[in-house]
Amino acid sequence: MREVQGGATARWPTRLDEFDFVLGGGLVPGSMVLVGGEPGIGKSTLLLQVAAQLEAAGRPTLYASGEESAFQVKLRADRLGGSAAEVPLLAETNLETVIATAAERAPALLVVDSIQTLFTTDLEGAPGNVGQVRECAARLMRFAKESGTAVMVVGHVTKGGGIAGPKTLEHIVDTVLYFEGDGTLDYRVLRATKNRFGSVDEIGVFRMTEQGLEPVANPSELFLGDRLASASGSAVTALLEGSRPMLLEVQALVTKAGFGTPQRVSTGLEGRRLALLLAVLDKRAGLTFAQLDVFVNVVGGMRLQEPAGDLAVAAALASSIHDRALPADVIFLGEVGLGGEVRPVSQAERRLAEAANQGITTAYLAERGIPKRRDPRIRTVGIRTVDALFGQLFG
C-alpha cells in the first residue's frame, strides 16, 4: 500500500454551502451519491441546482431524466434561472444509452433521476425491480470509478422512509443523503447517513423559494424566529446534529380531556419517549396527566432524537399545566432519568456557545454537566432533579 499514489481527497465545491457542508467540502471525483426523500420534497430541484452550480464553475455536467419529460425539466430550469438552462439534458431510461452518452461527453457530474426508472437490456424485468436496480447501480458505480465522473442518483423511498429497492443499493454507493421536510413548510433538511469521504449525521438546512433551494446559514435563528415567548408550554433546547449545534423550540399543550381516553399526540418526538417522560413527571414531580390530553410538537418538522431534549420537553409540559410562560432567554439541556434525576449531555460547551450566539442568557442543565470553561455571556444553573427545576421555575 505504500506504493499507492495519492494524497488528500480532491473535492469540487458546488457553492451550495449547506450541500457542501453535509458532503464534507464538496463532491469527490469518481464518487457515487444516492439522494432519497419523499415525492415532491425537492430532490430533483436540489440535483439540478448542484449541476447548474458546477456548470457555472466551468465543470461540464449531464442530467439524465427518466422521471420527467424534457419539457418538465426545462420548466424547472427556467424557474431556477442562472446556469440551470445550460445543463445538458438527456431524457432516457436505458442504462446503456446513459453510460455511452456520459462516456462520450466526459462530464464532471452525471445526475440520474431516478435509479428506479433505469433498466438494462441484459436483464429481464421492468425498471425498478430488485435485479434491475442492483445491476444499474453497480454499473453506474463502475463507470464512476473508471471515468472519475461523480454520479448522483435519486432514489425513491418506501412508506417506512427507507430507500426503495434492495438494501445492497445503499451498500454500493459511497454516500447516502436523505432530503427531509414537511411539504407544507418552506424549509428542508439534508441529512447524511453514510459518507465514505466525510462524517455522517451532518445536516444542511435549505429554504424552498420560487427560485429554488436557498441554503440557510443560521438554522437556529430560522427555527426560533416565530417563537411566541409570552405563550405557556414553550421551551428551547439545543440539538446536536453531527458537529452542528442547533436551537429548537419544543411546544407542549396540556388540556382537560373532553371525553374517552386522554390523547397523547407528539410530532417530532417518539411516542414512547413522551410516555416515559409523562410517567416520570407524574411519579417524581407530582404532575398528574391521567385526565388530560397532551400534545407535544418540535417546531419546524425537526426530530428530537437525542435525550438531551428531555429537560426542555419536561419544562414545556410543566409550563403548560401551570399555564405560566417560561422566560424567553432560557435554554434547557439534560436527559431525564426514571428517578427524575437530570443527567449531563455531551458537548455541552458547544451547545451553550450556540445558545449564547442566539441571545440566550440562562441555561438549566445537570449539575455534573456544567462545563469547566463557561461562556461569560450565559449563566449556568445546575439542576439535580426535575422537581427541583420546577421549584425554581414555578415556586
Cβ burial of 230 (10 Å; 0-12, 13-18, 19+) is exposed
Residue 231's pLDDT band, with cuts at 50, 70 and 90, is very high
**How far is 115 from 99, CA to CA, in rounded Å?**
13
Taking residues 267-293, what's their average pLDDT? 96
Taking residues 294-314, what's their average pLDDT? 94
The mean pLDDT value of the chain amounts to 92
Q: Are 262 and 293 in contact (CB under 8 A)?
A: yes
Q: Is the pLDDT of residue 94 over 80?
A: yes
Tell me: the pLDDT tens digits for 11-26? 999 999 999 999 999 9
Q: Give the C-alpha distances (Å, rounded to integers) separating 50 from 30, 70, 81, 149, 306.
A: 16, 18, 13, 14, 31
**Residue 185: φ, ψ to 5°:** -110, 165
Is the CATH number 3.40.50.300 carried by domain 17-216? yes
CA 203 to chain CA centroid, nearest Å: 5
**How far is 149 from 32, CA to CA, in rounded Å?**
9
**How far is 227 from 246, CA to CA, in rounded Å?**
15
Grid coordinates given for 156: 425513491
Q: Is the pLDDT of residue 233 over 80?
A: yes
Tell me: the pLDDT tens digits for 98-111? 999 999 999 999 99
Peptide bond into 114 cis (omega under 30): yes
Grid coordinates given for 158: 418506501
- Hey, where are the domains in the chain? 17-216, 222-394
Q: Is the pLDDT of residue 185 over 90?
A: no
Q: Give the C-alpha distances (Å, rounded to integers) separating 75 from 45, 55, 56, 68, 70.
A: 11, 18, 19, 11, 9
Of the candidates 311, 277, 317, 275, the one whose C-alpha atom is nearest the C-alpha of residue 297 is 317
**How far is 54 from 66, CA to CA, in rounded Å?**
21
Please state which CATH number belongs to domain 222-394: 3.30.230.10
Taking residues 342-363, what's their average pLDDT? 95
Q: Are 71 and 105 in contact (CB under 8 A)?
A: no
Residue 3's pLDDT band, with cuts at 50, 70 and 90, is low
Grid coordinates given for 263: 390523547
Please, which residues bridge with residue 65 across strands?
91, 113
pLDDT at 158: 72
